[in-house]
Amino acid sequence: MADATKIQLGPCSVNYKGRDMGHTIGGVTVTYTPDFYKSKVDKYGSSVVEEFLVGEQLMAEFSLAEFTLANLQDAINQSTLQGDDSVSVGSVAGKKASVYAGLLVLHPLAYAATVRDYDVAIYKAVITSELKIEHKTDGEKVLPVTADGLVDENRSDGNMLGFIGDSIS
């Protein structure tokens, strides 16, 4: 039976590596993408007889409205904070992004902090987005962020990328 009380609306907080990243602009989008191998046999031609899961991707996309050094450092995966006033950029090829991975938790602001029923978390989120800093008169300067979930081998099958709902395990 339909239940209008289950309709949800509104922004969420973005917490990365235990730090609140502040306001966002344009919302937050979470995408889960399974990758299946389609098995076909001669008897049925091009008809698919089975599909096998061969990979999964869990990612989040958002734009940070607060242009801070901490947010800038997180938005550039291989960057380094230089003192209190700058972030340096530029590394040699071959460095692992996983070194900078951390827990990303998205919490709907319509619910108290203790109500985590609708949270989305990515265990080993690594920021992989291109950074464009725009200085313009008709919009805020934002930090666009794409966070990809890496497999966490310390977790059980079916729970290696993240969770949706009430769980911080």
Q: pLDDT per residue over 51-103, tens digit each? A: 999 999 999 999 999 999 999 999 998 888 888 889 999 889 999 999 999 99
Cβ-Cβ contacts under 8 Å for 122 (sequence gap 6 or more): 58, 59, 60, 103, 104, 147, 149, 161, 162
User: Does residue 61 belong to any structural domain of this protein?
Assistant: yes
User: Does residue 59 belong to any structural domain of this protein?
Assistant: yes
Q: What is the pTM of this model?
A: 0.91
CA–CA dist 5, 30 (Å, integer)? 22
Domain of residue 80 covers 7-37+50-164
Cβ-Cβ contacts under 8 Å for 100 (sequence gap 6 or more): 77, 78, 126, 127
User: Does residue 82 belong to any structural domain of this protein?
Assistant: yes
